[in-house]
């Protein structure tokens, strides 16, 4: 895979070699993310950070990653605040905004919209989530986290067992992660969701074609001897009505007691976040906060490393980051 100057729109673009490349560069970003050093390698470069759908960590971590490489960030948030609300096409918006930026990160509520936007863009576009379709950078940071967590347990992605729980129909993070896992060997999937929110048939077909084993169930049953428990949020914004979304809220909540009953004591708990902590949902209870296997905040930290790596590779500076090192002068507590 050639990163330099190219869009990152889907995990379908990646093979195992490309993933390893991203992970190696991500690892090299640790001293900068931890503020042991800083780099100005992207000094003068501008990221257009266009978030036409709610976001906290994806938007801020894209911006932070770019800043940590020495670049500047221009942000647009919310569909209603942009000229898209006046009927402007994605193509025109892309033509215009790509004249103001060296690279663009974009999130939009419609499947396929980021790819459509990229057709009009004169600079690389990174997909920060397009509707229920894909979320490639989240999948890469999830995979990076899985690899690190399993390494700590002396195991690897090949041969692992992952349980995916919750809204597997509309959850783009599980779609992209499942597709990436199809590049690995002998992965077992346990897919736990209400029947109406099953994983889409196209993803199941990809899992099957990869030769992986999978189980589909609508119950938390017996022991799920998974290495990874990947919990998701009911994607209420993608349901035809709130009423329908409410039916599924809280169906698969996870707390310490449920975790102990169904999982191994070393099962890693993941969630792309935000976790819905309202009482009627409480999908990942606060009583898990002190559980050392709760990896959700390690995921968010890893997101900065992975996004730094993607920017460095796409802008072709991955080998010269250290040439632009500077010391840190302020008090650091990260």
Chain residues that interact with ligand NCD, rule: CB under 6 A: 57-58, 129, 135, 138, 172-173, 233, 235, 272-273
Inter-axis angle of helices 172-181 and 201-209, nearest 10: 10
Complex with ligand NCD: residue 31 or 112, whichever CB lies closer: 112
Measured from the CB atom, the residue of 139 and 150 that comes closer to ligand NCD is: 139
Q: Please state the closest distance from residue 55 (CB atom) to ligand NCD, in A.
A: 6
Buried-exposed string 42-72: b where 16+ CB fall within 10 A, e elsewhere: beebbbbbbbbbebebbbbbbbbbbebbbbe
**Shortest distance (Å) from residue 329 CB to ligand NCD:** 32
Distance CA 107, CA 78 (A): 10
121 or 232, CB closer to ligand NCD? 232
Alpha-carbon gap, residue 271 to 174, rounded angstroms = 10
Give residue number: closest CB to ligand NCD. Answer: 233
CB of 138 to ligand NCD, least distance (A): 5
Min dist CB 95 to ligand NCD, Å, is 26
Separation between Cα atoms, residue 222 and residue 225, nearest integer Å = 9
Give the span between the Cα atoms of 327 and 103, in whole angstroms: 27
- Residue among 39 and 127 whose Cβ is closer to ligand NCD: 127
In the complex, what is the shortest distance from the CB of residue 192 to ligand NCD, in angstroms, rounded to a whole number?
A: 16
In the complex with ligand NCD, the residue whose CB is nearer, 34 or 57, is 57
What's the min distance (Å) between Cβ of 155 and ligand NCD?
Answer: 25
**Sequence-ordered strand ranges (E) for 8-70:** 38-39, 46-51
For the chain, helix (H) and strand (E) counts, in that order, are 11, 11
Closest separation in Å from C-beta 141 to ligand NCD: 9
Residue (41 or 309) nearer to ligand NCD, CB: 309
* Nearest to ligand NCD of 45, 294 (CB atom): 294
As measured in angstroms, the least distance from the Cβ of 36 to ligand NCD is 26
Backbone dihedral angles phi then psi of residue 319, each to the nearest 5 degrees: -95, -5
> What is d(CA 78, CA 80) in angstroms, rounded to the nearest whole number?
5
Least gap, CB of 23 to ligand NCD (angstroms): 19
- Share of the chain residues as helix, strand and coil, in percent rounded to the nearest 5: 40, 15, 45
Q: What is the 3-state secondary structure (H, E, C) of 256-277?
A: HHHHHHHCCCCCEEECCCCCCC
Tokens linked to 13: 């673009």
* Chain centre to alpha carbon of residue 38: 25
Tokens of 53: 């759908």
Task: Closer to ligand NCD by CB, 98 or 193: give it.
Answer: 193
Distances (CA, A) of 120 to 12, 89, 95, 110, 244: 21, 10, 5, 17, 36
Quick one: 121 or 300, whose CB is closer to ligand NCD? 300
């Amino acid at each position: 895979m050639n990163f330099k100057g190219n869009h990152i729109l889907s995990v379908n673009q990646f093979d195992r070699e490309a993933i390893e490349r991203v992970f190696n560069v991500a690892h090299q970003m640790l001293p900068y993310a931890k503020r042991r050093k800083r780099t100005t390698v992207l000094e003068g470069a501008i990221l257009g950070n266009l978030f036409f759908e709610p976001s906290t960590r994806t938007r801020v971590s894209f911006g932070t990653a770019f800043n940590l490489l020495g670049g500047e960030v221009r942000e647009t948030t919310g569909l209603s605040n942009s000229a898209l609300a006046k009927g402007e096409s994605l193509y025109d918006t892309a033509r215009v905004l790509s004249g103001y930026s060296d690279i663009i990160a974009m999130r939009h509520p419609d499947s396929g919209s980021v790819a459509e936007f990229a057709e009009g863009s004169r600079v690389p576009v990174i997909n920060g989530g397009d509707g229920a379709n894909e979320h490639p950078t989240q999948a890469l940071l999830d995979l990076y986290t899985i690899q690190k967590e399993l390494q700590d347990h002396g195991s690897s992605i090949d041969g692992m067992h992952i349980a995916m729980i919750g809204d597997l129909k509309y959850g783009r993070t599980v779609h992209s992660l499942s597709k990436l896992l199809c590049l690995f060997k002998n992965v077992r999937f346990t897919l736990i969701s209400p029947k109406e929110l099953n994983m889409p048939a196209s993803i199941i077909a990809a899992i099957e074609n990869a030769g992986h084993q999978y189980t589909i169930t609508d119950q938390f049953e017996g022991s799920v001897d998974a290495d990874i428990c990947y919990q998701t949020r009911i994607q209420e914004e993608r349901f035809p009505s709130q009423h329908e979304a409410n039916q599924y809220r809280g169906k698969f909540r996870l707390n310490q007691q449920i975790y102990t009953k169904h999982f191994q004591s070393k099962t890693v708990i993941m969630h792309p976040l935000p976790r819905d902590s309202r009482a009627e949902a409480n999908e990942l209870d606060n009583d898990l906060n002190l559980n050392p296997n709760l990896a959700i905040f390690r995921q968010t930290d890893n997101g900065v490393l992975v996004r730094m790596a993607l920017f460095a590779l796409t802008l072709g500076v991955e080998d010269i980051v250290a040439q632009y090192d500077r010391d840190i002068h302020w008090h650091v507590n990260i």
